[in-house]
Amino acid sequence: MNPDISAGWRRWSSRLLLHQLLCAVLGAVVIAVAAAIIDPKSTADPAASPEDRAKEDLSRYEYPSQKEIRWKAHFIRPQDSLERLFGKDWVPVARFNRIDRRHVYPGMTIKVPENIEDIRNYTPMPGFYESARRHAKYIYLSVPEQWLGAYEYGKLVFSMPAATGIEGHLAPTGLFKAIGYHRKHVSSLYKTAKGDIQYPMDYAILFFIDKENFLYWIHSRDLPGRPASHGCIGVFDEAMQKRVYGAPDKPVLDDAKKLYAWTIGEFLFSVDDGTQQPLRNGPPIEITGDLPKRLPYSPC
């Protein structure tokens, strides 16, 4: 072949290859841009499903006390856990979201405060509650806040997140009284998520028996960050979760035990043998309000 023709052919082939490569790169860029414009979700960071059929987007739950706190929605990824995300500050974040560690899993969304100091001592309950003024002990539960407060002569001594009944199985509202206690209570109606045992209701405080003889208790339970029960009131108990589910590895949150011991008193707690007992002169238990509003979309 003529050397000039051969050299020309090589130059033309190189230019053709470069042209094809540039066209491929530009085509990929155009497709990516078009996808981002037409369907931003295809290129955006992972986020909660707009339908949220499983109610895993906790940023949609509106609590009155959180309106003045700046927060953002955080989508939980496979590598995330409360401890990994927040270190020693995971406890106030869990309480702020009304959720236990076992229920923080990939695919759900939680609320993350912009400033952790805003929630370090967070409670939606009033520091002084007039209705409790005359009582040595008084329990006040706000259904809209999904939160419970323990009062002594009107002064708040401690408070905790609480999961109340879902729509169709609402917790009763009104003024009740603690009338019984049972440290080792077990549900006669419902089983655990695994379905292998009846649901444990450790540190149970009985406060109401309805006309159909259905008993309502405050007790330890899973807290998924939203109303979740069949009418009873559930509070944190990671020791129960460790025993039943094997997690968390090192239980920390023990609100159920704390409330139980305070409600029945030091002496009864010291001699408690785990059997169901009546409680004389138990503290009043006031439950007020409607379920928290669930927004059709995340505000963030």
pLDDT tens-place string over residues 190-204: 777 777 888 999 999
Whether 179 and 280 share a structural domain: yes
CA contacts within 13 A on the Cβ side of 292: 27
Determine contact, residues 62/227, Cβ cutoff 8 Å.
Answer: no
Mean pLDDT of the chain: 88
| Number of domains within the chain | 3
Mean pLDDT confidence for 164-174: 96
* pLDDT value for 197: 85
* pLDDT value for 177: 98
On whether residue 299 sits in a domain, the answer given is: no
Whether 13 and 64 share a structural domain: no
- The range of the structural domain enclosing residue 240 comes to 130-293
On whether residue 53 sits in a domain, the answer given is: no
Whether 168 and 260 share a structural domain: yes
Confidence of residue 40 (pLDDT cuts 50, 70, 90): very low
| 17 has pLDDT over 70 | no
Smallest CA-to-CA distance from 148 within 256, 250, 11, 1 is with 256
On whether residue 136 sits in a domain, the answer given is: yes
Confidence of residue 41 (pLDDT cuts 50, 70, 90): very low
Determine contact, residues 284/177, Cβ cutoff 8 Å.
Answer: yes
Q: Which of 118, 142, 170 is the last residue of a domain?
A: 118
| 146 has pLDDT over 90 | yes
Whether 151 and 279 share a structural domain: yes
Q: How far apart are CA 79 and CA 106, in angstroms?
A: 8
Mean pLDDT confidence for 221-244: 95
Mean pLDDT confidence for 28-57: 58
Q: How far apart are CA 226 and CA 265, in angstroms?
A: 30
* pLDDT value for 52: 75
Confidence of residue 249 (pLDDT cuts 50, 70, 90): very high
Point out which residues pair with 147 in neighbouring strands.
Answer: 142, 161
